[in-house]
Amino acid sequence: MGLLARVNAAGTNYYLATLSPSSGVVDLRKVVNGAASQLASKQIAAAASSDWPQLRLDVTGDHLQVFAGGQTVIDVKDPSLADGGVGLWAGAGSTACFGEVYVQTL
């Protein structure tokens, strides 16, 4: 499951924060013209299968923060993508359920 920020109209440029609950890996990637590059990755404790994972992505200016379970796990700066929309992400061939989705202007 993942969160998208600064998505351009064509859907080819964006930031993507993902969390794999079973492995406990949190990733932050930048996609430009469809090509992905990893900005940061962090191993956290894997969630129990009955737990709903919590993922949050804050983007202010060039500052990106990814939170998992309420804790900051990734904190980086990248000035590449200045604006765009937001979205939800599920990997190809996977199923994801999202609840309590909030979007706000900071």
Within a domain: 31: yes
Residue 101 within a domain: no
Residue 93 domain-assigned (yes or no): no
Q: Which residue has the tokens 């709903």?
A: 52
Of 53 and 76, the one with more pLDDT: 76
Which residue range is the domain that position 57 belongs to? Answer: 2-80
Q: Is residue 56 part of a domain?
A: yes
53 in Cβ contact with 68 (< 8 Å): yes
**How many structural domains compose the chain?**
1
User: For residue 75, what is the domain's CATH number?
Assistant: 2.60.120.560
Q: Give Cα 3 distance to the centre of its chain.
A: 4
pLDDT at 51 > cutoff 70: no
User: pTM to 2 decimals?
Assistant: 0.89
**Cβ count within 10 A of residue 32:** 13
Give me the pLDDT at residue 48, please: 61
Per-residue pLDDT band for 85 (boundaries 50, 70, 90) equals very high
The lowest-confidence range among 27-36, 38-47, 96-105 is 96-105
Q: What is the mean pLDDT of the chain?
A: 89
β-sheet with 14-20: strand ranges across: 35-43, 25-32, 14-20, 2-7, 85-89
**pLDDT on residue 47:** 66
Residue 92 placed within a domain: no
Task: Please write the tens of the pLDDT for every residue from 5-41.
Answer: 999 999 999 999 999 877 889 999 999 999 999 999 9
